[in-house]
């Protein structure tokens, strides 16, 4: 059995990888990449694929129509292309007995706390069922304000959402160079970046390189790498044509450019929970629940004695003891209205009380930071 260094990986395939630099989606490189992803999943890893190519598939399906550059034309193309892209994935993954799922996201789904929790739970539920999520931006309907805009940054946000160990961005370049290798023959491939900040010269040289087919270029890849490593995810940027690129990266072989994570996923989640204003919503809990939290358990409704203020599912709330000392802060699975109905009750009764169920915890352990230990 192969031993992999990373357990949960986000793999990002760009348009240039899917088309081999042409204007047509080509199944050949794709089937090879898919065989590698299937092997990873069979070896016990969890993989989320972020795939571009919807617009390219749409253009191909409509025989390369001449269209204005405006947004509706692009949205139309991705609406035509997205199901075709998924059909290709579905067929190719079926050869390896893997089921795929389509998840279309926008920036809003990833940054607003309520939808953030929902998107996270959906992706984790798919992984639990051994279904491979294939993510793209919901291009057909997103407006400029709520778009991520490129799948490099989208893949970093997804990596953050699911606490991935590794984000692998496959592209048409062997990695990140000291300057653009297409114009400067002296450009050198950078093996790794371990400094806490990505060097300024790299940002400069990346801003001059552009990718013809996809939306991103090296600059969006660097932005994505920067974002992902700050949230605790290691990043590799490598060429999709490198033999066994996915499997070798997952084993920890040095290919392409490696960016070491600058925080742990736990630190980053804590920062996320503690960021923002002091919560106005409060959940008061009993002594039994306090000991449970101190013993690394989740907060269950049975330990909740009262609810102060109004809050929504996904909001950050303060968890307080009977003397109003703050014990912890976390993202709540239930709104104040819902909690007032289930406070003091057993988790198994949640569904019959509310008529639905967001999980047995009021605040899951992973979404909770202990703040203060009373004497």
Map residues 33-72 to x or -, x wherever contact with ligand GLU holds by CB under 6 A. Answer: -------------------xxxx-----------------
Residues 97-156 that bind ligand GLU (CB under 6 A): 136-137, 139, 150-151
Measured from the CB atom, the residue of 102 and 347 that comes closer to ligand GLU is 102
Q: How far is the CB of 102 from ligand GLU (least distance, A)?
A: 12
Residues 163-192 that bind ligand GLU (CB under 6 A): none
Measured from the CB atom, the residue of 60 and 338 that comes closer to ligand GLU is 60
Q: How far is the CB of 230 from ligand GLU (least distance, A)?
A: 20
Check if the beta carbon of residue 128 is closer than 8 Å to that of residue 46. Answer: no
Distances (CA, A) of 359 to 77, 118, 243, 304, 366: 38, 11, 42, 15, 13
Q: What CA–CA distance (Å, rounded) separates 358 from 51?
A: 29
Q: How far is the CB of 52 from ligand GLU (least distance, A)?
A: 4
Q: How far is the CB of 30 from ligand GLU (least distance, A)?
A: 14
Cα angle 112, 113, 116 (rounded to 5 degrees) comes to 80
Map residues 1-40 to x or -, x wherever contact with ligand GLU holds by CB under 6 A. Answer: -------------xx-------------------------
Q: What CA–CA distance (Å, rounded) separates 35 from 244?
A: 10
What does the block give as tokens for 177?
A: 């160079």
Check if the beta carbon of residue 315 is closer than 8 Å to that of residue 331. Answer: yes
Measured from the CB atom, the residue of 216 and 232 that comes closer to ligand GLU is 216
Measured from the CB atom, the residue of 197 and 212 that comes closer to ligand GLU is 212
Size of the site for ligand GLU (CB under 6 A): 15
Measured from the CB atom, the residue of 215 and 223 that comes closer to ligand GLU is 215
Q: How far is the CB of 292 from ligand GLU (least distance, A)?
A: 43
Measured from the CB atom, the residue of 139 and 361 that comes closer to ligand GLU is 139
Measured from the CB atom, the residue of 176 and 331 that comes closer to ligand GLU is 176
Q: What CA–CA distance (Å, rounded) separates 215 from 213?
A: 7
- End-to-end alpha carbon distance in the chain: 50
Measured from the CB atom, the residue of 78 and 119 that comes closer to ligand GLU is 78
Q: How far is the CB of 287 from ligand GLU (least distance, A)?
A: 51
**Burial level of 200, CB count in 10 A (0-12/13-18/19+)?**
exposed
Q: What CA–CA distance (Å, rounded) separates 237 from 172?
A: 10
Three-class DSSP category at 304? strand
Q: Any residues with CB less than 8 A from the CB of 66 and at least 6 apart, and which?
A: none
Strand-pair partners of 189: 177
Q: What CA–CA distance (Å, rounded) separates 51 from 135?
A: 6
What does the block give as tokens for 14?
A: 């760009």
Q: How far is the CB of 34 from ligand GLU (least distance, A)?
A: 17
Residues 201-220 that bind ligand GLU (CB under 6 A): 214-216
Residues that bind ligand GLU (CB under 6 A): 14-15, 52-55, 78, 136-137, 139, 150-151, 214-216
């Amino acid at each position: 059995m192969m031993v992999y260094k990373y357990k949960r990986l986000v793999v990002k395939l760009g348009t240039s990888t899917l088309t081999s630099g042409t204007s047509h989606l080509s199944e050949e490189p794709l089937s090879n990449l898919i065989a590698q992803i299937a092997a990873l999943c069979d070896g016990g890893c969890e993989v989320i694929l972020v795939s571009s190519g919807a617009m390219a598939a749409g253009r191909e399906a409509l025989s390369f129509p001449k269209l204005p550059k405006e947004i509706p034309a692009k949205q139309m193309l991705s609406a035509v292309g997205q199901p075709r892209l998924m059909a290709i994935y579905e067929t190719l993954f079926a050869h390896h007995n893997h089921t795929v799922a389509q998840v279309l996201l926008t920036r809003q789904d990833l940054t607003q706390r309520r939808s953030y929790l929902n998107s996270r739970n959906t992706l984790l539920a798919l992984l639990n069922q051994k279904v491979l999520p294939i993510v793209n931006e919901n291009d057909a309907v997103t407006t400029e304000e709520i778009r991520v805009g490129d799948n490099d940054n989208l893949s970093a946000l997804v990596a953050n959402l699911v606490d991935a160990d590794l984000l692998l961005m496959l592209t048409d370049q062997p990695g990140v160079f000291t300057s653009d290798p297409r114009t400067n023959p002296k450009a050198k491939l950078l093996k790794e970046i371990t400094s806490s900040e990505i060097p300024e010269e790299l940002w400069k040289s990346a801003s001059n390189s552009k990718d013809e087919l996809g939306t991103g270029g090296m600059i969006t890849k660097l932005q994505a790498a920067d974002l992902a490593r700050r949230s605790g995810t290691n990043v590799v940027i490598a060429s999709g044509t490198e033999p066994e690129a996915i499997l070798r990266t997952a084993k920890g072989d040095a290919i392409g450019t490696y960016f070491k994570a600058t925080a742990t996923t736990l630190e980053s989640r804590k920062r996320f929970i503690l960021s923002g204003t002091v919560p106005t919503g409060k959940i008061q809990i009993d002594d039994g629940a306090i000991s449970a939290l101190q013993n690394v358990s989740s907060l269950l409704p049975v330990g909740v004695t009262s609810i102060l203020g109004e809050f929504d599912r996904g909001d950050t709330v303060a968890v307080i003891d009977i003397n109003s000392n703050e014990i912890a802060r976390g993202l709540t699975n239930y709104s104040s209205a819902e909690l007032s109905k289930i406070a003091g009750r057993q988790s198994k009764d949640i569904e019959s009380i509310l008529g639905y169920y967001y999980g047995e915890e009021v605040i899951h352990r992973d979404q909770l930071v202990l703040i203060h230990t009373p004497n």
